[in-house]
């Protein structure tokens, strides 16, 4: 397994470089530039700025300077004087990470519980109710759900603040808004996996041995039924972290997604490139972690 992990880690480097190159070329092909503004800038200042960020050099020289700056942490932001891309990621990513972790925890707890109930109470009112709620959660986009929750629980009931990020109460609505759709997916995957497992011979054998229904469900059936969720969880975790963009904009949360959108609108090449590479590395390592976890949950799976 160690050799497999080392090979996967080594593959990450060229994959990130290819993704970075594609992102860089797309940014350069997009209309506008980082120093285009409504207020005219003196030409000599524009030339100085372009020289500072290597914009007056050929594209391959620019790309090389950006990658070098990302590696050693010295790449400056084009729109935030005095700050490097690494510093901005270091200060803003923990906010996005906390929001994503809360949303993922909410999704795992509620989704797994709903999926188990739907499987062990198949074709009953409990099953129909949990799957109906899951369908609603999948159908409503978070940019609709967020303002709706703000209107109901903040403006109407006054239970939670409508915005900010400075306490437990301010984290509830953003986490629920982000995690509800993922909770619905987990519920459906858990239910499908559990239904497949509880019909197998070893579950019938466990019941024949006199094990309680709780032991059968949580000790035997859940371990096999949760495998589809584990497979889905790696990319989903990355999507949660990168999907905080809309949520951070709605609730005015100073996370990495919020700054990423602003950087894209401002054509801040260095910041956009840094965030894309950062999220790409996270995604690839999460996929690797899922592959390793899969072997622990299912001994039949071997890494080679």
Domain final position from 42, 72, 102: 72
Question: What's the predicted TM-score (pTM) here?
Answer: 0.73
Q: What gap in Å lies between CA 222 and CA 74, rounded to an integer?
A: 48
Residue 164 DSSP one-character state: -
Instruction: Kindly state whether residue 194 falls inside one of the protein's structural domains.
Output: yes
Q: What gap in Å lies between CA 67 and CA 87, rounded to an integer?
A: 16
CATH of the domain at 118: 1.10.3720.10
Instruction: Kindly state whether residue 288 falls inside one of the protein's structural domains.
Output: yes
For the cut 70, the answer to whether the pLDDT of residue 299 exceeds it is: no
In terms of domains, do 126 and 245 share one? yes
Average pLDDT over residues 17-22: 88
Average pLDDT over residues 169-190: 86
Total domain count, the chain: 2
pLDDT tens figures, 153-171: 888 888 888 877 787 888 8
Query: Mean pLDDT: which of 11-25, 54-68, 251-265 is highest?
Result: 11-25
In terms of domains, do 118 and 62 share one? no
Instruction: Kindly state whether residue 218 falls inside one of the protein's structural domains.
Output: yes
Give 36's contacts (C-beta < 8 A, 6+ positions apart). 267
For the cut 60, the answer to whether the pLDDT of residue 3 exceeds it is: yes
Instruction: Kindly state whether residue 79 falls inside one of the protein's structural domains.
Output: no
Domain final position from 72, 94, 128: 72
Q: How confident is the model at residue 187 (pLDDT cuts 50, 70, 90)?
A: confident
Domain final position from 46, 72, 98: 72
Can you point out the beta strands (E) in 84-225?
none
In terms of domains, do 36 and 161 share one? no
Residue 80 DSSP one-character state: S
pLDDT tens figures, 202-244: 666 766 766 666 667 766 666 666 777 777 776 777 777 766 7
In terms of domains, do 100 and 41 share one? no
Q: How confident is the model at residue 128 (pLDDT cuts 50, 70, 90)?
A: confident
In terms of domains, do 238 and 281 share one? yes
In terms of domains, do 291 and 153 share one? yes
pLDDT value of residue 155? 85
pLDDT tens figures, 34-51: 666 656 667 777 777 777
In terms of domains, do 169 and 195 share one? yes
In terms of domains, do 51 and 95 share one? no
In terms of domains, do 137 and 257 share one? yes
Q: What gap in Å lies between CA 175 and CA 267, rounded to an integer?
A: 29
Name the residue range of residue 192's domain: 85-265+272-297
Average pLDDT over residues 132-142: 81
pLDDT value of residue 202? 65
In terms of domains, do 57 and 93 share one? no
pLDDT tens figures, 83-111: 788 888 888 888 888 888 898 899 888 88
pLDDT value of residue 164? 74
Instruction: Kindly state whether residue 78 falls inside one of the protein's structural domains.
Output: no
In terms of domains, do 100 and 240 share one? yes
In terms of domains, do 39 and 96 share one? no
Q: With beta carbons less than 8 A apart as the criterion, state whether 19 and 276 touch.
A: yes
pLDDT value of residue 255? 83
Q: With beta carbons less than 8 A apart as the criterion, state whether 135 and 111 touch.
A: no
């Amino acid at each position: 397994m160690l050799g497999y992990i080392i090979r996967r880690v080594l593959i990450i480097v060229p994959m990130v470089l290819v993704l970075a190159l594609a992102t860089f070329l797309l940014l350069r092909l997009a209309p506008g530039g980082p120093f285009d503004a409504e207020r005219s800038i003196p030409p000599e200042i524009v030339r100085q700025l372009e020289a500072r960020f290597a914009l007056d050099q050929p594209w391959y020289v620019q790309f090389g300077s950006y990658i070098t700056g990302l590696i050693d942490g010295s790449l400056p932001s084009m729109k935030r004087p005095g700050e490097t891309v690494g510093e901005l990621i270091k200060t803003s990513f923990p906010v996005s990470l906390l929001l994503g972790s809360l949303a993922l925890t909410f999704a795992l707890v509620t989704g797994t519980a709903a999926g188990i109930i739907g499987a062990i109470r198949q074709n009953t009112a409990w099953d129909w109710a949990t799957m109906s709620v899951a369908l609603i959660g999948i159908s409503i986009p978070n940019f609709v759900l967020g303002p709706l929750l703000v209107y109901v629980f903040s403006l109407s009931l006054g239970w939670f603040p409508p915005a900010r990020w400075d306490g437990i109460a301010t984290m509830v609505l953003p986490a629920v808004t982000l995690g509800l759709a993922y909770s619905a997916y987990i519920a459906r995957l858990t239910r499908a996996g559990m239904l497949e497992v509880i019909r197998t011979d070893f579950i019938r054998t466990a019941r024949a041995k006199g094990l309680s229904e709780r032991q059968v469900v949580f000790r035997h059936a859940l371990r096999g039924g949760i495998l589809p969720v584990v497979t889905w969880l790696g990319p989903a975790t990355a999507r949660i972290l990168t999907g905080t963009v809309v949520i951070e904009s709605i609730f005015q949360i100073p996370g990495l997604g919020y700054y990423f959108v602003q950087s894209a609108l401002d054509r801040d090449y260095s910041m956009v490139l840094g965030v894309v590479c950062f999220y790409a590395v996270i995604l690839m390592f999460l996929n690797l972690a899922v592959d390793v976890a899969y072997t622990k949950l299912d001994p039949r799976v071997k890494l080679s």
